[in-house]
Amino acid sequence: MKNYESKNFVNNEWLSTGSGSYLSILDKYTGEEIGKIPQASETQMESAIVGANAAFQITKKWSAGKRADMMRKLHTKLEEQKEKFINIIINEGGKPRSYATNEIDRCLTTLQLAYEEATRFGGEVVPMDFAAGAGKTAFTKRHPIGVIACITPFNFPLNLVMHKVAPALAVGCTCIIKPAPQAPMSCLAFAELMQEVGYPAGVINVLVCDIPVAEKLVRDNRVAKLSFTGSDKVGWYLKSICGKKKVTLELGGNASVIIDEDVDVEAISDLVAKGAYLYAGQICISTQRIFVHQAVYERFEKALIQSIQNLKVGNPQDGDTLVGPIIDAGHLGRIETWVNEAKNAGAIVLTGGKIASKEHNLFEPTLLTNTDATMKVSCEEVFGPVAVLEKFSTFEEAIAMNNDSKFGLQVGVFTNRLDHFKMAFEELEVGGVMINNIPGFRIDNMPYGGVKDSGLGREGLTYAMDEMTEGRLLIY
């Protein structure tokens, strides 16, 4: 790793010192230290806030053409260094190579969407030529709001940064990013690309920091918006302290799949298995609850267990690995505890159920049944390679089983009945319904977000651009 990847980035400067404490970044499979980053100080955060506001005075005046041109250059830089970023993500995030490659491809797509939308994004003509408005013309123009505070998780260490930074750059906002402590290096490496492209000092700032310094960023009135992706507990707390600024929260969930009685269950078992266990289930929309009609339950259970046992578990550098390491030993132990609690309460292990390797932070792909909605493996977000399989007798019952949750992000529904298709869309309490697909489906321009404890607002390029701007009305 280069030296700049082990420093914080504030106002186009790489800072090798901070509060005095350091964060060790480990390879998630080997346990080897791959970086040691200083925790940023409160003074450095203050400098970032001042610098980001100063930079906003520049970028808010840029033309749409200039914003697009700068992002095209950034896209080219990232494409040239694609393999480097893939390896950083594998090492710091433990992400299987195929999925890390997919992440960088998505980053490139998100950037491309951003520079294309920068030149199309605008306001609207407001109908007003009647009554007291007769003879008047009115239209709105979208104006960038200012500094965006971005707090991101480990599981997509660059693309979830991109979902905040790309729309900000597209509209002329500036960013202060607190990346995940487990995987900050890809974000820091991306900041270096922005420096190479020639973005002014303060347009992007990346600070690894502890909670009090992060809270300074969230509370500060000079910051216009908080965009947070992470746990529901932390997200709702940050919303409670952020004051009057805009807020977007992407908080995950316990996504379900509903499989109707008219489905070819053998044909979908591999897809459902991948949706539950890819990247060891460390995806906000991983399939965690699987509800199957009783008429096809036994066939599907048999097919799914075989599909799960065919998954390659191990070194994320191997091209055919789909289930790599858990992000750290603490989460590995938590997953083991939750599974054991479920077993002690009556859950039955159909496959897996234990740690595969403490040395490499591997947990076996695990499928449980005879669970209930009070068990943590069902009602909380496991964020690990654990799913529960249960049967239902009517489609209405399946919808109720899905809705019996504090979360509501996305759901997959496999059915060939039009009435069930329509019922699912009308009755499921989620942000998105995927018909004949797993809940883990996402492309980067769609409106993405949840209801209930799964979040507030929507991401997706143009939807985030709307949230990072305000309409101003002109009448003449």
pLDDT tens for the 476 residues of the chain, in order: 444 468 999 999 999 999 999 999 999 999 999 999 999 999 999 999 999 999 999 999 999 999 999 999 999 999 999 999 999 999 999 999 999 999 999 999 999 999 999 999 999 999 999 999 999 999 999 999 999 999 999 999 999 999 999 999 999 999 999 999 999 999 999 999 999 999 999 999 999 999 999 999 999 999 999 999 999 999 999 999 999 999 999 998 999 999 999 999 999 999 999 999 999 999 999 999 999 999 999 999 999 999 999 999 999 999 999 999 999 999 999 999 999 999 999 999 999 999 999 999 999 999 999 999 999 999 999 999 999 999 999 999 999 999 999 999 999 999 999 999 999 999 999 999 999 999 999 999 999 999 999 999 999 999 999 999 999 999 99
Assess contact for 118 and 171: CB atoms under 8 A. Answer: yes
Helix (H) / strand (E) containing 26 = strand 22-26
pLDDT at res. 308: 98
DSSP string for residues in 105-162: HHHHHHHHHHHHHHTT----BPP--SGGGTT--EEEEEEE--EEEEE--SSSTTHHHH
The neighbouring-strand residues paired with 23 are 37
Distance CA 325, CA 53 (A): 40
Distance CA 215, CA 228 (A): 12
Q: And the tokens for 220?
A: 């500060």
Comparing CA positions, the residue from 213, 101, 220, 198 lying closest to residue 158 is 101
Assess contact for 88 and 186: CB atoms under 8 A. Answer: yes
pLDDT at res. 23: 96
Assess contact for 157 and 89: CB atoms under 8 A. Answer: yes
- Name the pairing type of β-strands 225-229 and 147-151: parallel
Among 3.40.605.10, 3.40.50.920, 1.10.3720.10, 3.40.50.2300, what is the CATH number of 3-251+452-475?
A: 3.40.605.10
pLDDT at res. 6: 87
> Which one-letter amino acid corresponds to residue 250?
E
> Domain 256-435: which topology?
Aldehyde Dehydrogenase; Chain A, domain 2 (3.40.309)
Q: And the tokens for 334?
A: 């938590």
3 state SS of 24: strand
Comparing CA positions, the residue from 296, 286, 295 lying closest to residue 411 is 286
Comparing CA positions, the residue from 437, 421, 447, 337 lying closest to residue 384 is 337
User: What phi and psi, each to the nearest 5 degrees, are found at residue 182?
Assistant: -75, -25
Q: Give residue for tokens 């979360």.
A: 407
pLDDT at res. 2: 44
79 is catalytic: no
3 state SS of 246: strand
DSSP string for residues in 178-236: E--TTS-HHHHHHHHHHHHHTPPTTSEEE----HHHHHHHHH-TT--EEEEES-HHHHH
Write down the catalytic residue from 242, 284, 336, 459.
284
Q: Give residue for tokens 């069930």.
A: 420
> Which one-letter amino acid corresponds to residue 272?
V
pLDDT at res. 239: 97
> Which one-letter amino acid corresponds to residue 271?
L
Distance CA 65, CA 62 (A): 8
Comparing CA positions, the residue from 17, 4, 27 lying closest to residue 324 is 27
Helix (H) / strand (E) containing 378 = helix 376-379
Q: And the tokens for 470?
A: 């305000």
Q: Any residues with CB less than 8 A from the CB of 281 and at least 6 apart, and which?
A: 288, 382, 383, 384, 385, 386, 387
pLDDT at res. 5: 63
DSSP classification of residue 263: S
Per-domain boundaries in the chain = 3-251+452-475, 256-435
Write down the catalytic residue from 250, 381, 390, 459.
250
242 is catalytic: no
Torsion of CA 22, 28, 33, 39, to 10 degrees: -10
Comparing CA positions, the residue from 472, 409, 463, 450 lying closest to residue 166 is 463
Distance CA 441, CA 44 (A): 39
pLDDT at res. 4: 47
Q: Any residues with CB less than 8 A from the CB of 72 and at least 6 apart, and which?
A: 115
Q: Any residues with CB less than 8 A from the CB of 234 and at least 6 apart, and which?
A: 228
Measured in residues, the chain has a length of 476
Distance CA 406, CA 404 (A): 7
| CA distance from start to end of the chain | 58
C-alpha distances in angstroms, 427 versus 52, 254, 356, 402, 407?
44, 17, 39, 10, 15
Distance CA 249, CA 349 (A): 34
